[in-house]
Amino acid sequence: MTEHWASRWRVPVIWGLLLLAGCLLMGQLEALFRWVEPDSRDVIFSRVDFLVLLGRHLLVVSVAAVLATLIGVGGAIAVTRPGGRDFLPLVAQVASLGQTFPPVAVLALAVPVLGFGTLPIVVALLLYGLLPIVRNTLAGIEGIDPSVREAARGMGMTSGQILRQVELPLAAPVILAGIRTSVTINIATAALGATVGSSNLGDPIISGIVNGNTAYIVQGAVLIALLALTVDSVFARLAPARRA
């Protein structure tokens, strides 16, 4: 059992360890970055510790992801019940139409309404992250063969039982794929949050672009890429059957 566990989670653990090592040991690579950027005084981004930046990035993304999952799955369930069916066509259309909006534009439009800082980022990520989750939850629940539902009802299950024991388990892989898409997009969009006053792993990149310091840019880019790969590989292990 443990061996099975170890082989299953090997890839995410490796990416995660690389990420942690990157955060902790970036300072040791000063010689390398000095070679990349010989003209600058500082070659290691040191305004904020990399671990702190990683923590902030994870916090913003996970708060948005948890809220988006709760609201998205809850909302999709609500509009597939008899009471909320009226809203189903509109919600389905908005969820697919909304995904054509570029995340950058959504982030940019959130700022005039919500202001600068971390809270607008969370709200923008939450709103945008809702779309794939709602869309996939709807697809998952609507995709269930009606005869399965019929059979469950025939066995005397109540609507609540059908939802919990039949519909949600059957739709789970599709819902999970939606959450994965949402989180992947959000990690990338959160990095842009550094341009609107929210400090995270995007900070070194933006600050490197502003100051013309390639070493900063590379440090931020490597860490964000490692973070995205770690999180994505975790999702890949949770849903082994599906590959988006």
Partner 1 sequence: MSAVNGERGNTVLLTLMLVGLGAWWALPVVSVAPNRIVPGEARYAWEVAGPAMALLASLPMALAALSARSADPGWRSLGLVLLALAGLPLWLVLAVHQLIDPELPQARLGIGSGIWCALFVLMLALLDLRTRQRLSTGVSWLLMLTPLALLAVCLPLGLNRLALWQEYQGRADDFWLAIGEHLLLVTTTVGVSLVLGAGIALLMRRYPEVQRGAFAVLNFLQTIPSLALFGLLLGPLAWLANRYPWVDSLGISGIGWAPALLALVAYSLLPMVRNTFVALEGVSPGVIEAARGMGMSRLQIFFQVRLPLAVPVLLEGVRITTVQAIGLTAVAALIGAGGLGRFIFQGLGQAAMDLVLLGALPILVMAILADAVLGNLSRRLGRGEAA
Candidate list 27, 74, 89, 143; residue touching partner 1; CB under 8 A: 89
Q: How far is the CB of 109 from partner 1 (least distance, A)?
A: 5
Q: How far is the CB of 187 from partner 1 (least distance, A)?
A: 6
User: 102-108, long-range: CB within 8 Å, 24+ apart, which pairs?
Assistant: 103/128, 103/185, 103/188, 103/189, 103/192, 104/189, 104/192, 106/189, 107/189, 107/192, 107/193, 107/196
Residues with Cβ within 8 Å of 77's Cβ and at least 6 positions away in sequence, in order, are 137, 141, 163
Distance of CA 128 to the CA centre of its chain: 10
**What is the distance between the alpha carbons of residues 244 and 230, in angstroms, rounded to a whole number?**
16
Candidate list 105, 119, 151, 155; residue touching partner 1; CB under 8 A: 105
The piece of 124-132, 145-153, 167-175, 184-192 that touches partner 1 (CB under 8 A) is 184-192
Residue 90, token pair as written in the block: 């509109």
The piece of 21-29, 129-137, 149-157, 198-206 that touches partner 1 (CB under 8 A) is 198-206
Candidate list 94, 127, 170, 239; residue touching partner 1; CB under 8 A: 94
The piece of 96-104, 133-141, 147-155, 158-166 that touches partner 1 (CB under 8 A) is 96-104
Residue 209 in the binding site for partner 1 (CB under 8 A)? yes
User: Shortest CA distance to 198 belongs to which of 53, 24, 44?
Assistant: 53
Side-chain-side CA neighbours of 78 within 13 Å: the count stands at 9
Binding site for partner 1 (CB under 8 A): 36, 86-87, 89-90, 93-94, 97, 100-105, 108-109, 111-113, 116, 184, 187-188, 191-192, 195-196, 202, 205-206, 208-209, 214, 217-218, 220-222, 224-225, 228-229, 232, 243-244
